[in-house]
Every structure is written in structure tokens, then in C-alpha cells.
């Protein structure tokens, strides 16, 4: 809506960006109790509606961060800098998060979102979930992330002749089993999720925790154009493969560096 329309008599403008305001996802939850309502949010503040609370992860990092007294007195300090949190966590804390916490995004064809939600509920039971539409275009060359072959012939909702509609499903929080004090195997759950994604022409962004081995990585992402470029511009033996740039999972930083070195050293030896 335009600024003029939003300011019309009777309209409610909610500036959710103020430090003392309730966290947005909790504000949205109030609709479950009081029913549907309409309000206008300034565009910039809407874009940053989850910034202060890091979506809903803020509740885990700072359990009292959503309380009014904290928001009013210290809410301007939010959010904590994630890079600082990572830099100050030890190996044991890192492994604890890896086993008992989920941070995953997956890019799923729109018509398979229902199946994806059922799978996530069964394997992880994490709520709330983040859903965001994403369009994948049909390009003259096959990139690493590409639409399903022949999608344009099915005329599914959201698809066009030149692009297929996908949805980003964000899964961030402690699984239900962990919250109930039950056993949860984070690595196994992520591995099962990745296999489901491969089987359903879906993708896992590589900033998420990944348990993919190299073979499965290239089952998920198409390597043809990527490898062609690496060969053409002499990157092989000079720059590591993107798989080793993004491989995480249970590996420590040192283990990742050693794996990268093992890949590069034979190439350097051949040149010598």
C-alpha cells in the first residue's frame, strides 16, 4: 500500500522495528487467538521483521529476550552478532548444537512442499517454519541449480513456460524430541533430509549444516557446466572444488583444511 493509503483514518500502522516491540513471529501468533486482523508495516521494517529475534532462534540464545522488561531496557542490543557467537563457542558446544539443533533451508518444487512439510515433521518436528517463494528459470545452459526437466508441460500452479516455482522451506530451532528430553540424532536426521531432497529434485543451500559426501553432493547439484569452466580456466589443481569449500557437518575447521590440502597436493605434485 502507499503511504497515503496506510495513513487513512482507521488504519493501523505497526512499526515493528522499534527495539521494544514484541518479536514479529510472536506478534503473528496472536492471530491464532484473536483472529484475522489487518495492519500496515513500513517496508524497511517488514524486510527486517525477523532481524531482532534472528527469526525464532533468539529465544534459544537468550530465553528472556522476548520479555517486555528486557525489550524495553536492552532490546536495542538485539540481535547478537552471530559471527561472535560462533567465534566464542568451543568444540563441545559446536557438537552439541550439531546433534541437538537444526538449521536447514531447502529449495523444493512448489507442488512438493506438502510432502516436504510432512517429512520435516516426521524427522525433525521443528516449528515455526519459514516459507518463501523462489522462481527457478529455465536457462540456455544447465547450471548447478535448475528446474525439473519438462516442468513446462505439466502446467502446475506457479509455473510458466520459462520458470518453475520453488519454495524455500526454512527449518531453524530445536527439534521436538530435544525439547521433550528425548534422544535425537542430528547428523542422521540431516542425512535423511538430504537424501529426500536428492530424490525429489530439491536443493540444500550450502550455508546450512551438510552431511553430504562428495558423490551425493554432485547428485544434488549438476556439475557439468561447473567442471567445464574449471577445466577451461585452469582452476583444477589451483582452486579447490566448491564441495570442499562448503563441506561442514561434524568436521572441524582443521579437518576441512586437511581435506582441502589432500585434494590440492596431488595436483601440485603433478605440476612439479
Kindly state whether residues 134 and 180 are assigned to the same domain.
yes
Please state, for a pLDDT cut of 90, what percent of the chain lies above it: 58
In this structure, is residue 118 part of a structural domain? yes
Kindly state whether residues 45 and 136 are assigned to the same domain.
no
In this structure, is residue 197 part of a structural domain? yes
Q: Given pLDDT bands bounded at 50, 70 and 90, which one contains residue 107? A: very high
The domain tally of the chain equals 2
Q: How far apart are CA 206 and CA 196, in angstroms?
A: 16
Kindly state whether residues 109 and 180 are assigned to the same domain.
yes
In this structure, is residue 120 part of a structural domain? yes
Kindly state whether residues 77 and 126 are assigned to the same domain.
no
Higher-pLDDT residue of 156, 266: 156
Residues 6+ apart with CB under 8 A from 268: 237
Per the structure, the complete domain to which residue 20 belongs is given by 3-83
Last residue of a domain, one of 192, 207, 222: 207
Give the mean model confidence (pLDDT) for residues 17-46: 91
Kindly state whether residues 14 and 109 are assigned to the same domain.
no
In this structure, is residue 219 part of a structural domain? no
Residue 158 and residue 193 in contact, taking contact as beta carbons nearer than 8 Å: no
Q: Is the pLDDT of residue 269 over 50?
A: no
pLDDT at 141: 87
Give the mean model confidence (pLDDT) for residues 177-194: 92
Half-sphere exposure of 164 (CA within 13 A, CB side): 21
What are 223's three cell numbers?
556439475
In this structure, is residue 64 part of a structural domain? yes
In this structure, is residue 195 part of a structural domain? yes
| Rounded (10°) CA dihedral 68, 74, 78, 81 | -140
In this structure, is residue 50 part of a structural domain? yes
Kindly state whether residues 181 and 116 are assigned to the same domain.
yes
Please state, for a pLDDT cut of 70, what percent of the chain lies above it: 90
Domain containing residue 195: CATH number: 3.30.70
Kindly state whether residues 79 and 164 are assigned to the same domain.
no
What are 108's three cell numbers?
523444493
Residues 6+ apart with CB under 8 A from 55: 25, 130, 170, 172
Last residue of a domain, one of 83, 113, 132: 83
Last residue of a domain, one of 83, 111, 130: 83
As a three-state string, the secondary structure of 180-241 is CCCCCCHHHHHHHHHHHHHHCCCECCCCCCCCCCHHHHHHHCCCHHHHHHHHHCCCCCCCCC
Kindly state whether residues 197 and 157 are assigned to the same domain.
yes
Task: Render pLDDT for 147-181 as a digit per residue (tens, 0 to 9).
Answer: 999 999 999 999 999 999 999 999 999 999 999 99
Kindly state whether residues 22 and 76 are assigned to the same domain.
yes
In this structure, is residue 11 part of a structural domain? yes
pTM: 0.82
Kindly state whether residues 117 and 37 are assigned to the same domain.
no
pLDDT at 244: 81
Lowest mean pLDDT among 57-61, 83-87, 139-143, 178-182: 83-87
The residue assigned the cell 582452476 is: 235
Half-sphere exposure of 46 (CA within 13 A, CB side): 8
Kindly state whether residues 123 and 78 are assigned to the same domain.
no
Kindly state whether residues 121 and 27 are assigned to the same domain.
no
Q: Is the pLDDT of residue 250 over 70?
A: no
Amino acid at each position: 500500500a502507499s503511504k497515503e493509503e496506510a495513513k487513512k483514518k482507521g488504519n493501523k500502522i505497526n512499526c515493528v522495528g522499534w527495539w521494544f516491540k514484541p518479536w514479529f513471529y510472536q506478534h503473528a501468533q496472536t492471530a491464532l487467538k484473536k483472529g484475522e486482523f489487518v495492519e500496515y508495516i513500513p517496508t524497511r521494517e517488514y524486510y527486517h521483521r525477523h532481524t531482532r529475534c534472528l527469526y525464532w532462534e533468539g529465544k534459544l540464545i537468550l530465553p528472556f529476550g522476548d520479555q517486555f522488561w528486557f525489550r524495553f531496557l536492552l532490546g536495542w542490543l538485539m540481535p547478537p552478532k552471530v559471527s561472535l557467537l560462533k567465534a566464542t563457542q568451543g568444540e563441545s558446544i559446536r557438537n552439541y548444537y550439531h546433534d541437538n539443533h537444526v538449521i536447514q533451508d531447502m529449495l523444493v518444487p512448489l507442488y512438493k512442499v506438502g510432502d516436504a512439510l510432512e517429512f520435516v515433521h516426521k524427522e525433525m518436528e521443528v516449528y515455526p517454519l519459514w516459507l518463501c517463494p523462489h522462481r527457478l528459470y529455465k536457462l540456455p545452459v544447465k547450471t548447478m541449480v535448475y528446474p525439473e526437466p519438462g516442468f513446462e508441460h505439466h502446467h502446475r500452479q506457479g509455473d510458466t513456460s520459462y520458470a518453475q516455482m520453488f519454495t524455500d522451506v526454512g527449518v531453524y530451532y530445536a527439534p521436538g524430541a530435544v525439547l521433550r528430553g528425548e534422544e535425537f540424532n542430528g547428523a542422521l536426521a540431516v542425512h535423511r533430509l538430504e537424501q529426500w531432497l536428492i530424490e525429489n529434485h530439491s536443493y540444500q543451500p550450502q550455508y546450512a549444516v551438510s552431511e553430504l559426501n562428495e558423490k551425493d553432493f554432485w547428485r544434488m547439484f549438476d556439475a557439468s557446466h561447473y567442471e567445464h569452466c574449471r577445466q577451461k580456466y585452469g582452476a583444477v589443481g589451483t582452486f579447490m572444488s566448491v564441495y570442499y569449500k562448503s563441506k561442514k557437518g561434524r568436521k572441524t575447521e582443521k579437518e576441512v583444511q586437511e581435506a582441502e590440502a589432500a585434494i590440492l597436493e596431488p595436483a601440485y605434485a603433478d605440476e612439479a
